[in-house]
Amino acid sequence: MNDLEMYREQLAICDDRIIDALVERNAIIEKIMAYKEKYGMPILQPAQEAKQKRRLDEKLKDNKYQEEIQDVFSRILRNSKRIQARKLFSYNIVLIGFMGAGKTTISDYLSTMFDMRLVEMDQEIAEREEMSIPDIFATYGEEYFRNLETSLLRELQTGKNCIISCGGGVAMREENVTEMKKNGRVVLLTASPETIHERVKDSNDRPLLAGNNSVEYIAELMEKRREKYEAAADVVVQTDNKSILEICEELISKLTELDKSDV
């Protein structure tokens, strides 16, 4: 055997060790998940994730291949998140609720924590139309926007394990709710009119609130929509005075409870 062949054999042995380590690592991930479930512990532990990262940074500080190894670990972490997500959610998570309830914020956080695909409907529509939501309303009218929402939602039913952040009006159409439920569980986020007002009062990207941005108007529109939101929801998470992490934990635990009661 010449040297080159010998090195190639050594490389193959190394790869086998990496595979064995990854299999072992993934099995540990599953054990951690089972442990958290058994003892009712929070699934998302950003502080632990940060601690793990600090440990790696320290360990690789003077390593010649620091950048390359960090890159591999970022993928390993992403894949661990996917393993968790696939185990927890075999469906789309669809967030609905009034403007300012936190659909965009919560979806964004969840998609990062579980490395799940995220579709922010407002953003997707604005990108496709090459126009902001207020401009779409002003140029083509609300009905046109609502039709775009319906066709996007239909299109999204080909996938699973995706987070769909709806615009606040999406759940008002019955046909949209039928679409959401094909592959998804529907999570309703709620907040009081006062909280909503506090959250949205300085924003200009919600045409329905332009010139109407008061607690009274919000309360009135919310009341008109309430029945449809509640009818569409599989689970409800109230968000007043709660942190993003608390809301996400509650959402996860309510969804997993729902799955247990389904079987």
Ligand X SMILES: Nc1ncnc2c1ncn2[C@@H]1O[C@H](COP(=O)(O)OP(=O)(O)O)[C@@H](O)[C@H]1O
Ligand Y SMILES: O=C(O)C1=C[C@@H](OP(=O)(O)O)[C@@H](O)[C@H](O)C1
Q: Does 101 carry a binding-site annotation?
A: yes
Confirm or reject binding of residue 208 to ligand Y (CB under 6 A): yes
Strands 184-190 and 162-165, how do they pair?
Answer: unpaired
CB of 110: closest distance to ligand X in angstroms? 12
Q: Which of 175, 171, 173 is nearest to 99 (CA)?
A: 171
DSSP annotation of 177 reads: H
- Residues 242-261 vs ligand X: string with x where CB under 6 A? x-x--x--------------
CB of 255: closest distance to Mg ion in angstroms? 20
Residue 211 or 261: the one with the smaller Cβ distance to ligand X is 211
Contact in structure between 34 and 83 (CB atoms under 8 Å): no
Q: Does 233 carry a binding-site annotation?
A: no
Contacts of 80 (CB under 8 A, 6+ apart): 25, 26, 29
Q: Does 206 carry a binding-site annotation?
A: yes
Residue 92 or 104: the one with the smaller Cβ distance to ligand Y is 104
- Residues 160-179 vs ligand Y: string with x where CB under 6 A? -------xxx----------
Find the binder of ligand X among 88, 89, 94, 103 (CB under 6 A).
103
Q: How far is CA 74 from CA 15, 111, 156, 259, in A?
A: 18, 16, 28, 30
DSSP assignment of 92-130 equals EEEEEESTTSSHHHHHHHHHHHHT-EEEEHHHHHHHHHT
DSSP annotation of 211 reads: T
Confirm or reject binding of residue 198 to ligand Y (CB under 6 A): no
> From the list ligand Y, Mg ion, ligand X, none, which binds 199 (C-beta under 5 to 8 Å, kind-based)?
ligand X
**Choices 27-35, 99-107, 155-163, 255-263; region in contact with ligand X by CB under 6 A:** 99-107
Q: Does 178 carry a binding-site annotation?
A: no
Find the binder of ligand Y among 181, 198, 207, 254 (CB under 6 A).
207
Q: Which residues sit opposite 190 in a β-bridge? A: 238
CA dihedral over 23, 26, 28, 30, signed as positive or negative = negative
- Residues 47-86 vs ligand Y: string with x where CB under 6 A? ----------------------------------------
Find the binder of ligand Y among 80, 122, 164, 180 (CB under 6 A).
122
d(CA 33, CA 24): 14
CB of 99: closest distance to ligand X in angstroms? 5
Confirm or reject binding of residue 166 to ligand X (CB under 6 A): no
Q: How far is CA 178 from CA 36, 94, 139, in A?
A: 34, 12, 29
> From the list Mg ion, ligand X, ligand Y, none, which binds 169 (C-beta under 5 to 8 Å, kind-based)?
ligand Y
The CB density around residue 241, as the number of other CB atoms within 10 Å, is 9
Confirm or reject binding of residue 94 to ligand X (CB under 6 A): no
State the binding site for substrate: 122, 146, 168, 225
State the binding site for Mg(2+): 104
